């Protein structure tokens, strides 16, 4: 009888000292991705430098970009045109027109719509703004 009690006591003592709970560490800090948003102002003259295109937009890595544009006559310092365009790029087309490139993104096409004769410079790729 004493032998069984001794075995039970050893079992209980070994169970208490050998069973350890898992140490809880501080949970990992969440990885935070910081995206810098930079306001950019760009000034672009047309070919004969009579008009100035002023672009204000944010560089945050996301497409499409929202452009706030203003066209100013250089000699008289008067504002000719002002507006907002959402797309990928704005540039001068000629002396009095802006070429604004639309954001196309990824388009899913059916297999029968793929052909080598597609027009890459279709009217859907850009719009023209007259000044």
Q: Is the pLDDT of residue 105 over 70?
A: yes
| CA–CA dist 79, 90 (Å, integer) | 18
Residue 21: predicted pLDDT: 65
Which tokens in the block code for residue 92? 């001068």
Using the predicted structure, report yes or no on whether residue 109 has a pLDDT greater than 70: no
2 in any annotated domain: no
Q: In what order do the strands lie in the sheet with 89-94?
A: 89-94, 97-101, 126-130
**Each residue's pLDDT tens digit, 34-45:** 667 788 999 999
How far is 82 from 53, CA to CA, in rounded Å?
10
Q: Is residue 49 part of a domain?
A: yes
Whether pLDDT at 2 is above 70: yes
Distance CA 9, CA 131 (A): 96
Kindly state the average pLDDT of the residues 87-94: 94
- Phi, psi of 69, deg, nearest 5: -115, 150
Domain contains 4: no
User: Per the domain annotation, does 59 fall within a domain?
Assistant: yes
The H-or-E segment that residue 75 falls in is none
* In a domain? residue 8: no
Domain residues for the domain of 94 are: 38-106+122-130
Spatial separation of the C-alpha atoms in residues 93 and 121, rounded to whole Å? 14
Residue 18, in any domain of the structure: no
Handedness of CA 8, 11, 17, 21 (dihedral sign): negative
In a domain, 13, yes or no: no
* Structural domain count, the chain: 1
Q: Is the pLDDT of residue 66 over 60?
A: yes
How many angstroms separate the CA atoms of 10 and 21, rounded? 20
In-domain check, residue 78: yes
Is 23's pLDDT higher than 70?
no
Q: Is the pLDDT at 120 greater than 60, yes or no?
A: no
0.85 exceeded by pTM: no
């Amino acid at each position: 009888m004493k032998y069984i009690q001794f075995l039970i006591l050893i079992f209980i003592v070994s169970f208490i000292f050998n069973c350890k709970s898992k140490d809880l560490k501080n949970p990992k800090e969440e990885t935070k991705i910081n995206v810098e948003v930079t306001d950019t102002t760009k000034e672009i003259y047309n070919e004969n430098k009579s008009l100035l295109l002023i672009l204000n937009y944010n560089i945050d890595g996301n497409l499409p970009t929202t452009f706030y544009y203003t066209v100013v006559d250089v000699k008289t310092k008067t504002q000719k045109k002002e507006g907002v365009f959402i797309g990928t790029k704005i540039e001068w087309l000629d002396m009095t027109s802006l070429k604004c490139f639309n954001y196309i993104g990824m388009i899913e096409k059916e297999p029968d719509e793929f052909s080598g004769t597609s027009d890459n410079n279709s009217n859907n790729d850009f719009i023209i703004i007259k000044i």
